[in-house]
């Protein structure tokens, strides 16, 4: 089972590093305006992508022994929806461009429409590998596709194609994923559709599909609203959001993403409960440690990586760190609910989240981008508490045990953060930006190890034991 997490970690960490590096290079070549144009279309792309998947992939993973009929049915359904959304994007390109007032959006929408056809044809191959826990081949496919698309995108940016470099990167990624999945898996589902199989998969997946759609609306609504008034503001927010998502998408991918398949394949109730409790502490601990360090590194880090033209993203990025921690925990709770078949609950809670986001967004919008960001964090925090309540109910965990577990998990990272913050406030402004980065990293790592060795929390000790045993 460790091999599953190992290859999932290799896949997601390397993928995130490559994507992050490519994004940094593109951000230095291109302008916030270029990123803002693409950010305006993100909400439409995200909705279409999740509706075309329709949650059927999760249905295949949840099913103990999916058949060829099941895979074929999901493949045909996804392909039809991919074609439908391709046509919808082409027809809606001009109205959307007119709404925002930027003619370039029409061409962008036409180009992105191509992605849906190829993306729809990769869902089933990827799902089959996930179900079979074949994370090694999946890692090869995903890393190869990411590298290929980024190289071509950066080449176009250097050649002076502006926002087309960003659009082309997305198109290249969907095309290369399809090609590499077919080459490496040497498997294609039959073109066949079975109503009984669809009914079973759809009954489980429809609620997840709706929750994914609501999630993507909430994730992209800020860039959408900001883009209506300023592509630069949308670009700044989008870049801060992308930067925040790099570490937390790794946490999601390395832990939550394979954890659903692992938990679904485990039939012993006691073992499943123990797996869930251990994962709860792991995700919370890693999320808080990562967040504490990133908040300290934000100012010098963004200046070094992106340049001075992106400094407006610094406070937004710091605020979004808390959003990332909450999101990681929410995904963990959703994994638990999915395992127990509570997909309708996920849909309802996600709907509540988007309603809260929209209401608070309406109130905060006139106060600017910072209050907009805070309003979204508050909405997510409220809903996360609801998920926590469901988790406690399903796993039969008393409140005091949860509180004790949370406090024991986050106390050391918060103490380390406070100590290093005092030092940062003392030396900041007296040293160069590169020395600043080095001082933060060194002081955080040293204090983190010393305090953990002194207090010896269970999560830290478990990781230390694994590290020692591997050596």
At 347-381, the pLDDT tens digits run 888 888 888 888 888 888 778 778 888 988 999 99
Rounded to whole angstroms, the Cα distance separating 310 from 154 reads 19
State the angle between helix axes of 269-306 and 231-251 in degrees (0 to 180), rounded to the nearest 10: 140
Q: What share of the chain has pLDDT > 90, as a percent? A: 20
Give the three-state DSSP class for 311. coil
The pLDDT of residue 226 is above 70? no
- Is 286 or 191 the better-scoring residue by pLDDT? 286
Residue 215 CB neighbour total at 10 angstroms: 20
The pLDDT of residue 471 is above 60? no
pLDDT at residue number 48 = 60
Residue 396 — pLDDT band, cuts 50, 70, 90? confident
pTM greater than the 0.85 cutoff: no
Long-range contact list for 182-188, CB < 8 A, 24+ apart?
A: 182/125, 184/137, 184/140, 184/141, 185/125, 185/128, 185/129, 185/137, 187/125, 187/128, 188/125
Question: Is the separation of the CB atoms in 21 and 246 below 8 Å?
Answer: no
Lowest mean pLDDT among 19-33, 52-66, 394-408, 420-434: 52-66
Q: Look up residue 161 and give its two tokens.
A: 């194609």
* Residue among 243, 242, 114, 224 at smallest CA distance from 167: 114
pLDDT at residue number 423 = 92
The pLDDT of 298-315, averaged and rounded, is: 88
Q: Look up residue 134 and give its two tokens.
A: 């074949």
Residues 6+ positions from 30 with CB-CB distance below 8 Å:
157, 162, 163, 165, 166
State the angle between helix axes of 2-29 and 231-251 in degrees (0 to 180), rounded to the nearest 10: 160
Of 287-301, 307-321, 349-363, which one has max mean pLDDT? 287-301
Report the mean per-residue pLDDT for the chain: 82
pLDDT at residue number 3 = 59
Tell me which DSSP letter residue 428 carries.
T
Q: Look up residue 115 and give its two tokens.
A: 């992605």
Residue 227 — pLDDT band, cuts 50, 70, 90? low
Residues 6+ positions from 455 with CB-CB distance below 8 Å:
411, 412
Q: What spatial distance separates the first Cα and last Cα of the chain, rounded to whole Å?
A: 19
3-state secondary structure 84-137: HHHHHHHHHHHHHHHHHCCCHHHHHHHHHHHHHHHHHCCHHHHHHHHHCCCHHH
The four Cα atoms 243, 244, 247, 252 give a dihedral, to 10 degrees, of: -120
Residue 263 — pLDDT band, cuts 50, 70, 90? confident
The pLDDT of 222-227, averaged and rounded, is: 66
Q: For tokens 């990827």, what's the residue?
A: 126
Question: Is the separation of the CB atoms in 332 and 256 below 8 Å?
Answer: yes
Rounded to whole angstroms, the Cα distance separating 428 from 328 reads 31
Transcribe 330-391 into DSSP letters: HHHHHHHHHHTT-HHHHHHHHHHHHHHHHHHHHHHGGG-HHHHHHHHHHHHHHHHHHHHHHH
Residue 169 — pLDDT band, cuts 50, 70, 90? confident
Residue 368 CB neighbour total at 10 angstroms: 10
Lowest mean pLDDT among 7-16, 366-375, 387-396, 443-452: 7-16
């Amino acid at each position: 089972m460790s091999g599953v997490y190992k290859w999932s970690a290799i896949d997601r960490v390397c993928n995130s590093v490559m994507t992050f590096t490519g994004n940094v290079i593109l951000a230095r070549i291109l302008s916030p305006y270029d990123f803002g144009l693409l950010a305006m279309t993100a909400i439409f792309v995200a909705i279409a992508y999740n509706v075309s998947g329709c949650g059927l992939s999760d249905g295949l993973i949840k099913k103990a022994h999916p058949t060829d009929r099941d895979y074929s049915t999901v493949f045909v359904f996804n392909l039809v929806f991919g074609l439908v959304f391709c046509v919808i994007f082409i027809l809606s390109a001009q109205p959307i461009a007119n709404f925002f007032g930027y003619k370039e959006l029409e061409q962008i929408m036409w180009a992105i429409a191509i992605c849906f056809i190829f993306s729809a044809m990769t869902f089933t191959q990827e799902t089959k590998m996930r179900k079979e826990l074949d994370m090694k081949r999946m890692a090869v496919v995903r890393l190869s596709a990411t590298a290929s698309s980024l190289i071509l995108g950066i080449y176009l940016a250097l050649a002076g194609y502006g926002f087309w470099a960003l659009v082309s990167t997305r198109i290249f990624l969907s095309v290369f994923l399809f090609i590499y999945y077919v080459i490496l898996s040497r498997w294609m589902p039959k073109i066949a559709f079975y109503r009984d199989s669809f009914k079973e998969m759809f009954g489980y997946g429809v609620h997840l599909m709706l929750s994914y759609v609501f999630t993507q609306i909430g994730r992209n609504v800020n860039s959408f609203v900001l883009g209506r008034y300023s592509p630069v503001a949308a670009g700044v927010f989008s870049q801060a959001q992308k930067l925040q998502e790099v570490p937390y998408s790794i946490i999601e991918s390395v832990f939550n993403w394979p954890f659903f398949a692992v938990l679904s394949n485990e039939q012993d109730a006691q073992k499943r409960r123990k797996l869930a409790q251990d994962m709860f502490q792991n995700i919370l601990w890693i999320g808080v440690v990562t967040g504490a360090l990133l908040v300290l590194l934000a100012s010098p880090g963004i200046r070094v990586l992106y340049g001075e033209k992106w400094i407006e993203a610094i406070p937004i990025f710091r605020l979004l760190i808390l959003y990332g921690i909450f999101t990681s925990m929410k995904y963990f709770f959703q994994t638990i609910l999915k395992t127990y078949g509570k997909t309708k609950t996920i849909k309802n809670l996600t709907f509540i989240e988007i309603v809260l986001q929209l209401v608070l967004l309406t109130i905060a919008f006139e106060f600017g981008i910072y209050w907009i960001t805070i309003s979204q964090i508050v909405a997510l925090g409220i809903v996360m508490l609801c998920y926590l309540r469901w988790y406690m109910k399903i796993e039969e965990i008393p409140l005091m045990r949860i509180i004790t577990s949370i406090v024991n998990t986050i106390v050391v990272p918060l103490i380390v953060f406070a100590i290093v913050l005092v030092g940062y406030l003392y030396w900041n402004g007296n040293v160069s930006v590169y020395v600043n980065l080095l001082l933060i990293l060194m002081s955080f790592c040293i204090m983190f190890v010393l305090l953990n060795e002194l207090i010896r929390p269970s999560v830290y000790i478990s990781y230390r034991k694994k590290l020692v045993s591997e050596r």
